[in-house]
Structure 1
Amino acid sequence: MSTRISATSNALKSFLAHLVSRRASARILSTFLCALIVILRSFSRFGGSYAFLVLSLKELVFSVQEDLAQQVEITVLNIPGAFLGIGLSTLARFLATLYEPGSLPSRLIPAAFLIAISFFAGWAKSRLPRLHLSARISCFVSIWMLATTEPYSYEDVWPLTRDFLWITISAAVICLFSSVILLHWTSTHLIEEISSAINDLRRCLLLSMEGSSLTAISDLQAMHAKLVRKSIKLSEAYAHAAFELRIGRVGVKSLKPLIGIVEHLRRELSWGMREPYAGTADVTEREDSLVSFDESVFRLTDNILKALTAVERLITVAYANSTLYRKNVRIEKDSVVTASINLNIAWTNTQDEVRKLNLATLTESRSVDTKSSADAVRAHSLYVASLLQIAYDTSHLLEATQKIGANHEASRIRVWLPRVSSQWFGIAPRTFIMDEYGANIAQEVTEAETSLSAREIHHGMAPYRAGAQETQEKRHLGGMKPGGNPEAKGMRRYSPSSFLCRVRHVWNHPHMLVLRLRASRAFRSLQHSSHLRHALKNAVGVALLGLAAFLPPTSAGYTWFKEVHGQWMIISFVWVLETNTGATWRVGYLRLSGTILGAAYAYVTWLICHKNPYGVVIMITLFDIPISWIIIRSSIPSLGVVASVTLPPVVLSQYIATSLTTSTIDLAFYRGLAISIGIIAALSMNSLVFPRHCRVLFLQQSSRTLGLLSQLYHLLSRDTLHRSRVFGPNDKKKVLKLELQIRNALHRSGALITTMHDELSLVPKPMRHYRRLIDKLQKVLDLMTGLRKVRENIPRQVTITAVFKERREFVSRICIALFACEHVFRTRQPLPQYLPSARQALEIVANCIEAQLQRAVEEDSQLRGLPMIYSIAEREVMMDLVDTVEDVSELCRELFGTSVWLTETWGQGLVENGLVSPGEGWHGTLGR
C-alpha cells in the first residue's frame, strides 16, 4: 500500500513540475491566445470560415519548442513553406477561373497542381528532414485551398488567399510571442548529454575497481550498454546543436574533440575491462615490485576519475552561462590544470613501474598451480593496458577542456547562426516531434547491391577494347595494300551494314562506354531511390483520395466528399504516410487513438458550452494541460498532437460558420471516419506499393555491417600478412573511416529494430535475437578497436614476425566466419554446420607466442616494459573476439538454421571410434 502511495505521489510531483515548466507554460499560453483570437470576431473575420485552423497549425507546425532559438528556426523555415503552398494554390485557382466554372479544365488544373505539390513535398519530406514540417504545411494549405472550395470564380480567389495568410501568420506569431516571454533563449541539451556521458564513464571505471562479484559484473555490463546508447545520443545531439541557432560565448565546434574522446574512452572501457578488477587482496604474498605496481595503478585510476570530474564542471559552467555577465571560471580552470599535472605524473609513474616488471616474474605467475591465478594475471595485464590508453585519452580531454575555458574568458556573448548546407537540410530539428522514430535510418540501396561490380565491368569492357584494337590493326594493314576499286569502296561505305558497323563502333567506343556507365549509375540511383518512391506514393495517395473533390459539382462523389469533410481524409493520409511500414503503423494507430480522444472531448465541450465563447476558450485551454504532458513527457507524442488538432474543427466550426447545418455529433463522427479512411489508405500504400519493411532493411543492414567488420579486421591484420608491411598513417585513416561507417550502420540497425517493433505482421519476429546481434556486433567493433591500440605497442619481432604462419591461419578463420555470417544475412540461407575453428587457431598462436617469449627471456632475462603487458593483453582481446564471433555464428544458426549432414549421434560415434577428435579444427553445432 505504501509503495502505491509513493508511486502516486511521485507521479503527482512529476505532473506538477510539468505544469510549471517553461515549455508547458508557453504551450498553454499559445493555446489560450490562439483560441482567444479565433473566438473574437474582430480578429477571426480575417480568417474567414477557416479561422479555427489557427489552432491546427499551431499544433502541427509551429508548436512551442524547448528554447527560443529552435522556435525562431521553425518559424523561419515553415512560414516560407506555407507561403509557397498558398502561392501555388492561388495560381491554380486563378488559372481555373479562366474557364467556365465546373468545366473539365477548371477542375483539372487545381487537381494537377495539388498532385504536383504533393509529389515535391513528399520528396522533400524524405530527402530533406529539416524541411519535413515545411513540406507538410505546403500540402496542408494546398489541400484546404484546392480541394474544399466550390467551383472557382475570380472574386473568390483573393479572399481565400488572405484568409490562409492570416491563419499562418497568426499561428506563427502567437507561438513565437509565447516563446519569447517564457522560454530560455538558448539550449543546454548538448552540455547535459556530455556531462551525463562523462559521469557514466566515471561510474563505469569505479565499478571496474569494486571486485569480481556477480552483482558488480552485472552492473558493469549494464553500464557498458548504457554508455553505447549515451555515445550515440551524444553524436546526435552534437549534429543537432551544430546546426541550431544558439546564443552563447563558446561555439559548439569546440566540443567536437570531446565527443570523439568520450567514444574512445567508452571503447577502451569495453575491450579492456572484461570484468571488474580484483584488486590487491593478496598483496602481502606478492613481490615488492608487484605491490608498488598495483599502488601506481590505483593512483592512476584515482587521477583519471578526478580529471573527468574537473572536465565535467568546467564545460558545464562555460556553456551554461549565456547571460550578458561573464561568470568567473577561474576555480574550474585551476582544477583542470591541477588534474592535468597530477594525471601526467601518475601516468609517468605507472609506466615506470611497468618497465620495472620482469617478464620472467609474470611468466612464472601465469604457470602457478591454479588456473585462476593465471587468469587474474592476464586480466590484470589487460586492465593495465586499457588504463594506460584511458589515461592517454583523458589527457587529451583535459587539453581540449582548457582551450574551452580560455575561449570562454576571451569571448563575448554572441549569436551563433547555423551553417546552411546540404548536411544542414539532412538533419531534422532536435525537438521536432517526429512520429517516425529514426527517420532516414534506412540507408539507400548501395551501388554494389544493384549493379555490376568493378571486376564485372572490367571484364565486360575487355572484349570491346580488344575488338577496337583489332579493327584498328586491320585498318592499318588495309591502308598499306595497293590498288582497290574506289567505287566499290564508296558503295560499301554507305551500305546498311557499314552504317550499323559505324553505329556499333560509336556505341562501343571507350568514351561512350564511360558515358554509358555513368548513365547506368544515374538510372539505377533514380530507380532505387526511396525518396522518389515516397514522393510517388504521396502524390498517388493524394490523387486517389482527392478525386471526389474534383468531380462535377452535381455528382454524388462530390456531394459525399463535401458532406464528410474529405479534406481531413487527405490530410490524415499525408500525415500518416511515413518512409517505412513500421513507422506508418505506429503513426496510424496513435493518430486514430488521438482522434477518438479529441472527438470525445470535443463533444463533451459542446454539450457543456455550446456557443459560449468564454466556456469554449476555457475548455480548450484546460484540455491542453494533459495534452502538453503527453507531448513533452511521454513516448507517444503524436497521440497528443492529433487529439489537440481534432478539437478545434468540431468545437469551433459551428461557432465560426453559423450557416453550418451539420450537428456536432455528426461532425465528430465524420471527422473520425475521414481520419480512419486516410490511415487505412496510408497503411495500404506503404504495405502494397513499394513496401519498405524494416525487417528486410535490418537484414540488409546487418549483412553490410558484417562485411564492413570483415574489411576492418583484414585491414588491421595486414601487418601480420605481409612481413615487410608496417601499419602506416594511410592505413590508420582507412581504419578510422571504417570504424565510423560501422558505428553508423549499427546505429541505423538499432533504430530499425525500434521501428520494426511497430510493424504488424502475421509471423512473429525474433526481436530478442536481433537485439542480441546488435550488441554482439558492437562488441566486435570495440574489440577490433582494442586490437588496433594494443598492437601499436607489442614487440613485433617476438609476437608477429616469428609467428607469421600461425597468425595468418587465425586471421583467415576469423574472416571466414564473418564472411559466412554476412552471406547468411544477405541470402537468408542456413549456415554450414561446420566452420574452421578460430578458437583452436588462437590456442596455437598463443602457444607459439608464449614459446617465443620464453626464448626471449632466456636470451635476455631483464626483458621488461610495456611490450610485455601488451603482449598478454593482445591474447585476451583476441580470446574475447573469438568468443564474440562464435556467438554471432550461433545467432545465425538460431535465426536461419544449419545445413546439417552429420547428427549428434553420428558425431559421438566417430569420436568413440577414434576417427576424429572432438572439435578437431572445426566449430559447429556438435560442440566447440
Structure 2
Amino acid sequence: MKWAGRLRLLSIPTLCAFLSFVFVVIRPWSRISGQWAFLAYTSNLIFFFPRGRIGPQLEATVLGVTGGTIGIAWACATLAVAAYCGRRYGADSNESRAILGLGLALLSLMAGLIRSYARRFNAFSKIMLFFPIFQLTSQQAVTHMTAELFLEQFYIVIFSALFALIPTLLIAPHKSSHPIGTQIDESIQTICTLLPVSLSPLLEVHFPVTAPVDSDSTGPVKSLEAQNQTPSQTELAKKLKITVLSLHVSSSSYFKESLALEQQSALPDIIKSIQRLQRNPLLGQTSHVPGERIQAALYRSFPRSRPGTPRRRSRSRHERQTSVSSEADLPPHHSVHRRRPRHLTSYLRPADSNATIALSTRPDLKDTSQNLVDAIIETLHTIDRQLKQTYGWSSPPDTEKTLVPEGALVEAKAHLEEVLNGVQRALGVVLGSMDRDAKKEHHRDHVTYAESTDVTDVLRNKDRFRLAFYMTALLDLSRDVHGLANTALSASIRVESTPSTWLTFFRLGWMKDREEVPQGTDGVDEADLAAEEEQPKDEMKEYQDMDYVTATLHQRREAAATDSTVGNRFNRAWKRTWNQHGVVKARITFSRSMHAIKHSRHVLFSIKLAAGISLLAVPALLPPGFSGRKWYDTSRGGWMVVSYMFVLEDTTGAILKVGFLRGLGCFIGAVVGFVCTLIAKQNPYGLVVLATACTVPISWHILFNTSTPGLGVSTGITLPPLMFIPYLGLAHGQADFTLAWYRFTDIMIGTFAAVLVGTWVWPVHARVQYFRAVSSMMERITEFYLRMSRDLVRSSLVYRVDDKQYDRLEGKIKRDFGLSRSLVSIQRQEISLLPRPVKLYSEVIDASERLLETLIEIRILRFSVPRKATVLDVLPIRRELISTILINLWACGHAFGSRSPLPQFLPSPRVPLSELMEVTDEHAQDVRVSRHPHVEPNEADTNSDDTARKRDVSPATVTESYQAEMAILYAMAENEALGEVCNILEELVAAARTLFGTQTFLDTT
C-alpha cells in the first residue's frame, strides 16, 4: 500500500480519538456520561475501531450498539431487582449483593456461549459484559432506580460508535465499482493464464521450469508431474483459489448495495459457474509433491523393496480364470515374476517409464487439443468483456475499455462447440490406437522392474490413464465454460429487459425466480427413474446398519409376554410405561442432549468465563467494611474482571499469547499515561493534544501490524483512565503514580487469573483440539466416500445422487479444515516443552483437502463411466476397492481421535485398483472389436482403413459412434483419480504412523 493510502487510513482513527478526547474535556458532554466519560476512547478502540472500510464499520456499529444496549439493559434489570431487595432488606444487604452476583454470572454464561459458538459476534459478546461489569460491581447500595443508571453508559456506546462511523463515512475511500467485478475479472484472467501452463507437458508448450532435483537428495517420493512443475503453476492455482473463495463474501455485500437486484439475479449462477471452473483438476495443483515431513514419513513407512523379500502370491480374478498350462507355455521372462504385492507403493518407477505424456506421437489429438484450449481462452475473454459491459464494472486502468460486438459471445460459444466435437472425435480415434500400442509394447518390451510384471504393466499403462484424466478434465472444463457463456448471455438479456428500481430489495424471493434443475438428470429415462424409486424398502436391512440405540429410536418395540401374578403388576406397569416408544424416544433424546452439553466446548468456555468473572468479582460483593471490599473500591477492581474477560481465549496457547501482549501493553500504557499526566497536569488542551499524539503510533500498529495487533489495543485502553480520571475529579485524592500502579496491578491480576485457568484449572491445548478436529474431519471424509460408494453400487444403470447431502457434508468438512488450520496457527505461536511437528500437522490438512477435492472429481467423473461394464459386472472388485479405502480412512480417523498406534499392515487399495484398470482395458478392447470386427490387432494398415472409412461419415454420426469410447475415457480417468486417492491415503497413513507409532509383529528389516 502506498504512503498516501496508509496516511488516509491512519487519519480516520486519529480523528476518532480526537473526537473522543474532546468529548471528555467538554463539560456539557462529559456530564451526560457521568463517571464513565473517559470510557469513550476505550470503547472505541475495543469495539468500534475504524479500519477504513465502510461496510465492516457499519456492521461493527450495529453489532456493538445492539450488544451494548442488551448488556446495559440486563444490568439495569438486575439493579431493579437488587433495588427492591435493598428497600426491603436494607441498602447493601446480602440479598441485594447476591442478586448482583447472580445477574453477572448469568450474563457471563450467555456471553460466553455467544462468543464461543459464533466467532463473528466476538465484539458483540464482549461489549455485553464490558459495561455491566462496572455497573454491577459499583452499585451495591442501590435502593431506587434512576434513568442515569442506563443513560450514562448508553451515551458512551452511542457516541463511541458515532465517533468511529462519521470519520469513516467522510474519509474512507468510496470505490466507484464493487470489488466483485474486479474479483470475477481476476478469476477469469487467472484461468486463462493457468490453463496453458497446466497443459504445457501435454501440448509440449515450453514454459520456464524449475531446475530438476536429484531424487536421492529429496527422498524416494517424487511424482511424475513434479518433473514438469513450473514455478508459477502453484502460485496461480493458489491465487485462483483465494480469489474464488472471496467471491462468496463479496457477492453478499454486492447484493445488499446494488440498486437493481432484479438485474443481478443471474450473478449467483455466474459465481457458481466460476467456482465449478476452479474445481477442475487442470486449474489446481496438478503436479503436487508431498511435503518434506510426509516424504520422510513415507520413506519410513514404505521403504525401498529389497531383492528376495518374500511376498504373498495373489492373482487377479482374470488370471485365476486362465489355465495353468497356458502359463507354462509362456517364455521364462513372462512367468518368473507373476507375483502381485499387497502394497504397490513403490516410488521407484521402472526405467522405461515415460517422463512426460506429450502428444507428439498423436498430432491430430495434439492439434485439436491446442485448438480447444485456444477456444476456451477466447470464450473466457469474451465472457469477461460481456460481463463488464452488462453490469457496468470498471476495467483496470491499464486495460482499454472496448465494447463487445453484438453476437460475439454467440460466435465464440459456437466455435467452442465445434472444436469440442472435434476433440471428442479425435479422442474416439485415439482410443483404438492406444490399445494397439499397448499390445505392441507388451509383446516387445522386456520386463526389468524388480516388483512383478503386473506392476510393470500398470506403470507402463499409467501414462494412458493419466492422458485420459487430462483429456476428460479438458472436456469438462470446456463444457463448464460453455455453460458460463450461456449464463452470461441470459444475464445480458435479463438486464436489458428488466427496469432498474430502488425498491427491489423488499422482494425476498428475487434470487429464486426460476426452478433449478439438478445436474446429472439430463437424458435420464423416466422408466428407469420410476423403477428405481418404486423399489420397496427393506426395513430390516435399513435397521441392521444402525447401532442399537439409533435402531431403537426408529423402530417400535413390542411388549413381551410377562408373568401375570399379582406381585408383578406394578413391575409390569412400570416396564410397560418405561418401554413405550415415546418414552424411549424421550429418554434417548435427553441422554444425547446431556452428553452433548457435558462435552461441548462452547459450554466449557462459558463456564470458565462465568466462574472466573464471578470469583474475581467476589471482593466487590463482600459486606461493607471488609478489607477485600475496600481494596476493590480503592483500586477500581472492575478493570481486573474486564482484563480476565479479554485474556480468556479458547486454547491455552492463545491465552498465553494474549496475556503476554496485554501485560506488556498495559505496562507501556501505564508508563506513557503517567508521563503525559505529569506533563499536561489537568490542562484540557494539553491532555487532548498529548493523548491524540499517543494514539497515532497505537493506531498505526493496529492497522498495519498483523502479527501483534493486541499490543496496540492493550496500550491504548490504558491511557484514558490515567489521563482523564484526575481531570474529571474521580481520583479521590490518589496520586498519579498510585492510579498508574493500581491500573497496572489490576490488569495483571486479571491476566494471571486467566492464564492460571487456561493452563492449570481447565487447560484446552491446541494440540489435543487439533487431533480431535482432524479425527472429525476424517470421519466426515469417510462418510463422504461411503455415500459415494452407496450411490455407485446401486443396482441401476442410471447413476443418481442427491447433490444437497454432498453439499452439506462438504461444507462441514471445509469448516473442519478451517478449524484445523486455525489450531495449527495457534500451535506455531505457542511455547511448548514437548516437541511438536507443526509442519507435519499442516501437511496432513493439505493432504486431506486434496483427498476431498479428488473425491469430488471422482463423483463428477462417475456420471459418464460405463456402469454395466466397469461397476455392475465387477462388483467383487469394486467391493474390495471400496472396503480397503474405507478401512484406511477409518484407521487414520481412529488414530487421530484416540492417538493410538496403527497396525503394522493395512490392506492396500492398489491391488483391486490394478484389477479394475485391467477390466477397463478389456472393456476398451471389446468396444473396439465390436466397432471394427474385421480389424486384427497386429494389422499394420488399420489406421489408413479407419481414416478412409471415417471420411464418408457425417460429424453427427461420428460423434454418436464414439459415445462408448468417451465413456471408456471417463472410466480410465476415474481409475487415475482413484490412483491419486491411493497416493493420498498412503501419505495420511504414513503421517499417522509417524505421529502415533505402529504396532509391529513382523520384523521386515
Q: Is the 8 A contact 1:308 1:394 kept in 2?
A: no
Counterpart contact for 1:378–1:876, Cα < 8 Å? yes
TM-score (normalised: structure 1): 0.80
Per the alignment, residue 324 of structure 1 pairs with none
For residues 315 and 821 of structure 1, the distance between their equivalents in structure 2, rounded to whole angstroms, comes to 50
Change (3 A) 1:706 1:110: closer
Partner of 1:115: 105
SS of the aligned residue for 1:655 comes to: coil
Q: Is the 8 A contact 2:891 2:902 kept in 1?
A: yes
Q: Partner residue of 2:163? A: 174
Q: Is the 8 A contact 2:140 2:621 kept in 1?
A: no
What are the equivalent positions in structure 2 for 1:172-211 lying under 5 Å apart?
A: 172-183=161-172, 188=178, 193-211=183-201
Post-superposition offset of 1:386 = 0.6
| 2:572 maps to which of 501, 504, 508 | 501
| SS of aligned partner of 1:903 | coil
Q: 1:257-268 to 2 correspondence within 5 Å?
A: 257-268=269-280
> Is this contact kept in 1: 2:20–2:40, CA < 8 A?
yes
Shift of 1:571: 0.8
2:1002 to 897, 902, 905: 902
Distance 1:557 1:263 in 2: 61
What RMSD in Å do the two structures reach over aligned CA positions?
3.9
- Is the alpha carbon distance of 1:19 and 1:771 closer, same or farther for their aligned partners in structure 2, counting shifts above 3 Å? same
2:655 equivalent to 1:568: no
Conserved in 1, the CA contact under 8 Å of 2:784 and 2:809?
yes
1:319–1:27 Cα change, 3 Å: farther
CA distance, structure 2, for counterparts of residue 717 and residue 697 of structure 1: 30
Q: 2:381 aligns with which of 306, 313, 333?
A: 306
Match of 2:311 in 1: none
Question: Pairwise mapping of residues 134-533 of structure 1 onto structure 2 (< 5 A)?
Answer: 134-148=124-138, 151-152=141-142, 154=144, 157-183=146-172, 188=178, 193-211=183-201, 213-214=209-210, 216-235=229-248, 241=253, 246-250=257-261, 254-269=266-281, 274-275=286-287, 283=360, 286=361, 289-303=364-378, 305-306=380-381, 309-310=384-385, 313=388, 317-318=392-393, 331=404, 339-361=412-434, 363-364=436-437, 368=441, 377-405=464-492, 410=498, 412=500, 414=502, 454-457=546-549, 465=557, 468-471=559-562, 492=566, 497-533=568-604
Q: What is the CA deviation profile of residues 851-898 of structure 1, one whole-angstrom value per residue up to 9, with x for unaligned ones?
A: 332343334337844234324323322222211111111111111111
The alpha carbon displacement at 1:19 in A equals: 0.9
For 2:807 and 2:77, the matched residues in 1 are separated by: 52
From the superposition, tell whether residues 287 and 456 of structure 1 become closer, same or farther in structure 2 (CA, over 3 Å): closer
Does the alignment pair 1:25 with 2:11?
Answer: yes
Which residue does 1:433 correspond to in 2? none
One-letter code aligned to 1:165? F
CA distance in 2, matches of 1:265, 1:780: 18
Cα 1:103–1:878 change in 2 (3 A) is closer
> Does residue 893 of structure 2 align to residue 822 of structure 1?
yes
Give the conservation status (yes or no) of the 8 Å contact 2:772–2:896.
yes
**Contact 2:379–2:413 (Cα < 8 Å) also in 1:** no
Partner of 2:950: none
| Deviation per residue, 1:139-182 (Å, 9 max, x gap) | 1111112213574464x954444422332222122223223323
Does the 8 A contact of 2:386 with 2:404 survive in 1?
no
Q: Which residue identity is paired with 2:168? A: S
Closer/same/farther in 2, CA of residues 310 and 351 from structure 1, 3 Å limit? farther
Identity %: 25
Q: CA deviation at 1:678?
A: 1.4
1:841 aligned partner: 912
Residues 816, 469 of structure 1: alpha-carbon distance in 2 compared, 3 angstrom cutoff = same
Q: For residue 456 of structure 1, report the CA deviation from its aligned partner.
A: 1.6
Report what 1:713 is aligned to.
785
Aligned counterpart, 2:514 = none
Amino acid of the residue matched to residue 170 of structure 1? F
Q: State the 1:414 CA deviation.
A: 4.2
Comparing 792-801 and 305-314, the one that deviates more: 305-314
| Aligned 8 A contact 1:706 1:819 in 2 | yes
Give the aligned partner of residue 786 of structure 1.
Answer: 857
Q: Does 1:79 align with 2:65?
A: yes
Paired letter, 2:31: R
After superposition, the C-alpha distances for 1:833-856 in whole angstroms (9 at most, x for unaligned) are 111222233223223332332343
Change (3 A) 1:89 1:613: same
Q: 1:920 maps to which residue?
A: none
- 552, 574, 594: which is aligned to 2:665? 594
Query: What SS class does the counterpart of residue 293 from structure 1 fall into?
Result: helix
Long gaps (5+) in structure 1: 1-12, 322-327, 422-451, 476-488, 906-928
| Matching residue's letter, 2:500 | R
| 1:402-424 alpha-carbon deviations (Å, 9 max, x no partner) | 45555655453648879999xxx
- Could you say what secondary structure the match of 2:560 adopts? helix
What is the CA deviation profile of residues 387-435 of structure 1, one whole-angstrom value per residue up to 9, with x for unaligned ones?
Answer: 11112222333334445555655453648879999xxxxxxxxxxxxxx
* Structure 1 equivalent of residue 693 of structure 2: 622
TM-aligned CA deviation for residue 55 of structure 1: 0.9
The answer to whether the Cα contact below 8 Å between 2:44 and 2:164 also exists between their aligned partners in 1 is yes
Residue type matched to 1:455 in 2? Answer: D
**Does the Cα contact within 8 Å between 1:52 and 1:649 map onto a contact in 2?**
yes
User: Which residue number in structure 2 is paired with residue 56 of structure 1?
Assistant: 42
Displacement after TM superposition at 1:384 (Å): 1.6
Q: Distance in 2 between matches of 1:402 and 1:674?
A: 65
Count of aligned pairs between the two proteins: 828
The one-letter amino acid paired with 1:854 is Q
1:660-705: per-residue Cα shift (whole Å, max 9, x none)?
Answer: 4333333233222222221222233344555443322322222232
Superposed CA deviations along residues 606-636 of structure 1, whole A, max 9, x for unmatched, are 3433323223222322333333333333323
1:870 — aligned with what? Answer: 970
SS for the counterpart of 2:95 is: helix
Deviation of the 1:657 alpha carbon: 1.9
Q: Hey, which of these two has a bigger chunk of helix by percent?
A: 1
Amino acid aligned to 2:426: E
Find the aligned partners of 2:789 and 2:647 in 1 and give their Cα distance.
48
Preserved CA contact (<8 Å) 1:19 1:625: no
Residues 92-124 of structure 1, C-alpha deviation per residue, up to 9 Å, x if partnerless? 445334243343234333222222222222223
Cα distance, 1:774 vs structure 2 = 0.9
The code of the aligned residue for 1:883 comes to N
Match of 1:890 in 2: 990
Change (3 A) 1:615 1:695: same
Deviation at 1:570, TM superposition (A): 0.7
TM-score under structure 2 length normalisation: 0.74
Residues 694-725 of structure 1 show CA distances to partners (whole Å, capped at 9, x for unaligned) of: 32232222223223323333333447645x33
The CA distance in 2 between the partners of 1:758 and 1:876, in whole Å, is 40
The one of 612, 616, 622 equivalent to 1:541 is 612
Structure 2 residue ranges without an equivalent (≥5): 202-206, 212-228, 289-353, 446-455, 510-543, 933-945, 947-960
Could you tell me how far apart the structure 2 residues matched to 1:706 and 1:57 are? Answer: 42
Give the letter for the 1:19 counterpart: L
Whether 1:795 and 2:866 are equivalent positions in the alignment is yes
1:567: how far off? Answer: 0.8
SS at match of 1:794: coil
Q: Which residue does 1:881 correspond to in 2?
A: 981
- In the other structure, the counterpart of 1:40 is 26
